[in-house]
Chain A
Amino acid sequence: MVSADKTDKKQQTNTGLRRNRESRMQEQALRAMIARVKDGGMSRRAFVQRMVALGVTAPMAGLMLSHSGVAWAQSSSSYKPTKAGGGGALKLLYWQAPTLLNPHFAVGTKDQAACRIFYEPLAGWDADGNLVPFLAAEIPSQQNGGLADDGKSVTWKLKQGVKWHDGQPFTAEDCIFNWQYAGDPATATYDVATYKDIKVEKVDDHTIKVLFQKPTPFWADPFVGVRGMLIPKHLFEAYKGDKSRDAPGNLAPVGTGAFKFVDFKPGDLVRGEINTAYHVANRPYFDTVEMKGGGDAVSAARAVLQTGEYDYAWNLQVEDEILKKLEDGGKGRVQIVDGGSIEFIPINSTDPWTEVDGERSSIKTKHPSLSDKAVRDALNLLVDRGSVEKFIYGRTGLATANFLNNPTRFRSKTTKWEFSIEKANQILEAAGWKRGSDGVREKDGKKLKFVYQTSINAPRQKTQAIVKQACEKAGIGVELKSVSASVFFSSDVANPDTYPHFYTDIEMYTTTMTEPDPALFMNQYASWEVATKENKWQGRNITRWRNEEYDKAYRAAEGELDPVKRAALFIRMNELVIGDVAVIPVVYRPSVYGMAKNLNAPLSGWDNDTYMIADWYRET
């Protein structure tokens, strides 16, 4: 026993060393690539795509380039109109209706998109991970002195001459107010985490300094993107804290954006009209904007693609086959925007069928069969992602072994996917799982039988069927279970059928990486995030997978100021998860939008879809 333990440890340190080396090699490869971007050998976009392929978000890739001295690319806007206005009405259709217009309360993307028509942040993220200034005069960098060397502060220069829709000037005071407002837990904002641990100082009327408590590699979070939209101090000052619900501005926004507020009916309609005093020249093109909500995704797609009643439809979660048919109508086109949503199958590393201290799937247990790597490897071979992509999702779900399967030549060896029932059979056979009389494999009296749960949603049930069929051919029994989405995705502590409880062997859902920083995304495999009864299943580590090297890499990334080193750590973490088959990625799901044929609208998967609404125009 003792000697076995020792060899184990030795092996562990050996693998640890090897992995460290791998992480360093990764870093060198990254630096070489950045050098190529610098001397023009590789395009910025190609670099970002490769980073996304490795599980790093586009904004993080952008920060890496910036840190390495590659200037932020000029916003790739192709805005053509030479004067503001004259574009008529812009009609947006959201099949989930916006319900509130205070950006600090806007949880849903539909609400955030509605807020973005009127409000702006200091900067936003474009599709290639560039920081695009809105209310900032420039993007902070080491070169312009905006970023402190110790990573503990950022200085933002604000754009001068910007006015709120009511004519009041926009100043540093407004930024400071937003920090106080959103950071006050009594206000109950959804972005409190972004603001509560920072301090914001006024340097002068148009300069602010954001101070972090500890070195913060991802500094572009407060005042940036979705959680960075700024509300005016003079209208919200009286409604801080407990009184936040009474502010008239919650329903009638006064912002700095390209459109002024006209009318809002919660759950139905938002209207705006051109802000003739907008702080960017020649913008916006449209005279009015209308965001209609409600209904369902298919008819929203129809109204844009087939009848042309609307110009733009949000988040078309519709089967690709239907989208293609509607596109034949010729009135509109489907636009697919890369983000970071992945449909995946988490594998339970604990035993869901044994109750310990009042909870199943307790981390004190080990899964009887899935703890065998051979079984996980076999399962990985049995998920026919190709068919799932081909027959179910089409353009709206690309087969992936990793966070993105493209571009192929950069695909890492450890993270490629394959579908082979034969190989799965061999692996199981070699690991000692023998077929029983009923065709189901077993070993030491334990049968290879799994319960596979997901939410009720047609593509998911079809995917389940594909996986089940392949598994049964390999001698793995699969029982399918589908749970109503409102239960599955709820945080109900008392309901055992929610996804964080994970009281089954495997499950399936989509995890989103729309956050610009991958740290939030990757903490779902950190050992301290394990979902347990003790934390009311609030922990984000649903698989209960634990790995010492992963934890170390994560901790290291938290304080790593060099974005390149940090990216190398994240890539490594990603490989660890995929390599150990803690989860099985199925398809990568980009966001799908419907757009009128002649509408030109820059979209980004790392920010709201309406983040550039001032630049939208109609080609004539």
Chain B
Amino acid sequence: MGRYLLRRLLIAIPSLLGISIVLFTVLALAPGDPFGELASNPAVPPEVRMALRAKFGMDDPVLLRYVHWLLAMLHGDWGFSFVSRVDVDALIWQRLPATLFVIGSSQILALLIALPIGVYAATRPYSVFDQIASTFAFIGFSLPTFFTGLLFILIFSIDLDWLPFVFRSDLSATGWRWYWEEFRQAIMPIAVLGMFQGASWTRYVRSAVLDVIRLDYVTTARAKGLREGKVVVRHVVRNALIPVVTLVALQMPAIFGGAIVTEQIFRVPGIGSLLIGSILANDTPVIMAVTFVFSCLVILFNLIADVLYGWLDPRIAYR
């Protein structure tokens, strides 16, 4: 096990290097200029922009810039944003709480929807409940979040005027009122994301349970005279959840990455909106840092999923 982990970690190093090279090159080749705004402003002489480019090392060859970036990254220096001139890690830390809260809650909501519905639907396949659940699941993951988001805003904010549609990271209320306000402003983005994710997970849970429920050991359990509830929870779901757990683990990096579209629609100040803001402003250090951290997390959670898999299913051995 230890050797396996070590080997996987060592393999991760060249993959991360490769990823960073690809990201860096793509960003270097992409059109646009973080100081483009200076170019279209007649009051700013071109020399200012040239000086800034030189100062921030943007005129150096790509290879040199990459080496600089890599060395700084190894020292824990993530660089600073060209646009706000703030350190990138500070920016990311600032955005992390909102993202963790909104996306994390939405994933929990998704699980809360997917598990009971998926399991119940699988125990009664092709029943009316299953048909309805499947229909809604298909609708759920077919509708893009930008559509449901706008729909929610139109219904709950504009027609009914119940909920605010601008997410604020600085609610002035205190105590219980604060929780209430936070709940009110977060419920729409959480619901939009949670239902989208929940819909597709419902399908996964259903099919995973269906695979297991017809196996002989389940029949044996039933033959022993166990109650149906116990059979499903103890014997079916435990085994059926193995693929679902890996699926959820692989989904974890997305929690960090945020939901770009949904964050933009509801103005949630999370990592997703930081990424899209930086892309629009051609703020390469921030784009680079966010995407790189994201790829690190993908690799890390892949590893975690593999390890979890073995822990859940002892038949799998590490070599």
Interface centre among A185, A267, A309, A535 (most CB of B within 10 A): A267
B-contact 0/1 string along A374-395, CB 8 Å cutoff: 0000000000000000000000
Asked if A486 is at the interface (CB within 8 A of a chain B CB), the reply is yes
Query: Known: A263-B170, A486-B32, A520-B43. Is A99-B38 also a contact (CB below 8 A)?
Result: no
A108 touches B48 (CB 8 A): no
Contact assessment for A491 and B39 in the assembled complex, using a CB-CB cutoff below 8 Å? yes
Question: How close is A421's CB to chain B, nearest CB, in angstroms?
Answer: 34
B259-295 with Cβ < 8 A to chain A: 264-265, 267, 269, 273-274, 277, 280-282
* A306 interface residue (CB < 8 Å to B): yes
Q: Determine which residue in A268, A302, A521 has the highest number of CB atoms from chain B within 10 A of its CB, and name it.
A: A268
Asked if B63 is an interface residue, CB under 8 A from chain A, the answer is no
* A-contact 0/1 string along B17-42, CB 8 Å cutoff: 00000000000000111011111111
CB of B44 within 8 Å of the partner chain = yes
Q: Would A292 and B48 be within 8 Å (CB), given that A100-B84, A515-B43 are in contact? A: no
Instruction: Judge if A450 is at the interface, Cβ distance under 8 Å.
Output: no
- Distance in Å from the Cβ of A573 to the closest Cβ of chain B? 15
A224 at the interface (CB under 8 A from B): no
Q: Report yes or no: B42 in contact with A294, Cβ–Cβ below 8 A.
A: no
Q: What residues on A are CB-neighbors of B170 within 8 Å?
A: 263, 269, 271, 290
Q: Which of B38, B86, B165 interacts with A309 by CB under 8 Å?
A: B165
* Alpha-carbon separation in the docked complex, A100 to B41 (Å): 18
User: A296 interface residue, CB < 8 Å from B?
Assistant: yes
By a CB distance below 8 angstroms, the chain A residues around B281 are 99
Interface residues on B, range: 35 or more
Q: Are B36 and A523 in contact (CB under 8 A)?
A: no
Give the nearest-CB partner of B270 in chain A.
Answer: A268
Q: Which of A245, A292, A295, A310 has the most CB of B within 10 A?
A: A295
Given A99-B83, A193-B44, A486-B31 in contact, is the A294-B39 Cβ separation under 8 Å? no
Is B215 in the interface zone, CB < 8 Å from A? Answer: no
Contact yes or no, A251 B86, CB < 8 A: yes
Which residues of A512-534 are within 8 A (CB) of B?
Answer: 515, 520-521, 523-524
- Among the stretches B68-76, B114-122, B156-164, the one at the interface with A is B156-164
Given A193-B45, A520-B42, A310 and B91 contact (CB-CB distance below 8 Å):
no
- Nearest B-chain residue to A98, judged by Cβ: B84
Contact of A269 among B31, B81, B168 (CB under 8 A): B168
- Tell me, yes or no, whether B235 is within 8 Å of chain A by CB: no
Instruction: Give A245 to B38 CA distance when docked, in angstroms.
Output: 18
B151 within 8 A of A: no
Give the distance in Å from the alpha carbon of A268 to the alpha carbon of B264 in the complex.
11
Interface flag for B166 (CB, 8 Å): yes
Q: Which residues of B contact A193 (CB under 8 A)?
A: 43-45, 48
A97 interface residue per 8 A CB criterion? yes
Which residues does chain A contribute within 8 Å of B169, judged by CB atoms?
265, 268-269
Query: What residues of chain A lie closer than 8 Å to B267, measured between beta carbons?
Result: 292, 294-295
- In the complex with contacts A294-B267, A295-B166, A540-B42, A100-B37 CB distance below 8 A: no
Q: Does B46 touch A at the CB level, under 8 Å?
A: yes
> A266's closest neighbor in chain B, by CB?
B84
- B91 near A266: Cβ-Cβ < 8 Å: yes
- Chain A interface extent, by class: 35 or more
Q: How far is the CB of A273 from chain B (nearest CB, A)?
A: 11
For residue A490, CB closer than 8 A to chain B, the reply is yes
Point out the residues of chain A lying under 8 angstroms from B85, CB to CB: 100, 105, 245, 250
Q: Which residues of B contact A188 (CB under 8 A)?
A: 48, 51-52, 55
A181 to chain B, nearest CB (A): 14
Query: Is A538 part of the binding interface, using a Cβ–Cβ cutoff of 8 Å?
Result: yes
A406 CB, min distance to chain B CBs, angstroms: 24
What's the least CB distance linking B27 to chain A, in Å?
13
Question: Within 8 Å of chain B (Cβ to Cβ): is A505?
Answer: no
The distance in angstroms between the C-alpha atoms of A191 and B95, with both chains bound, is: 30
CB atoms of A268 and B269 under 8 A apart: yes
Pairwise interchain contact A100-B277, C-beta atoms closer than 8 A: no
Which B residues are CB-close (under 8 A) to A185? 47-48, 51
B265–chain A nearest beta-carbon distance, Å: 7
Known: A194-B43, A245-B80, A491-B36. A296 touches B94 (CB 8 A): no
Given A105-B85, A294-B267, A309-B164, are A267 and B274 also a contact pair (CB < 8 Å)? yes
B84 touches A265 (CB 8 A): no
Q: Is A492 part of the binding interface, using a Cβ–Cβ cutoff of 8 Å?
A: yes
A495 at the interface (CB under 8 A from B): yes
Residues A29-47 near B (CB distance < 8 A): none
Question: Is there an interface contact between A489 and B166, defined as CB atoms closer than 8 Å?
Answer: no
| Nearest opposing residue in chain B for A293, CB measure | B267
- Indicate if A487 sits at the interface (CB-CB under 8 A): yes
Contact B166 A292 (CB under 8 A): yes
Say yes or no for B153: interface residue by CB 8 A criterion.
yes
Closest to B46 in A: A538
B residues whose Cβ falls under 8 Å from a Cβ of A? 31-33, 35-49, 51-52, 55, 80-81, 83-86, 91, 94-95, 153, 157-158, 161, 164-166, 168-170, 172, 264-265, 267, 269, 273-274, 277, 280-282
Given A107-B41, A185-B51, A188-B48, 9 more pairs with CB closer than 8 A: A100-B84, A185-B47, A188-B55, A190-B48, A269-B269, A290-B170, A294-B269, A302-B158, A538-B39
Residue pairs across A and B with Cβ atoms less than 8 A apart, 8 shown, are A100-B84, A265-B94, A266-B81, A290-B170, A307-B158, A307-B165, A309-B164, A536-B46
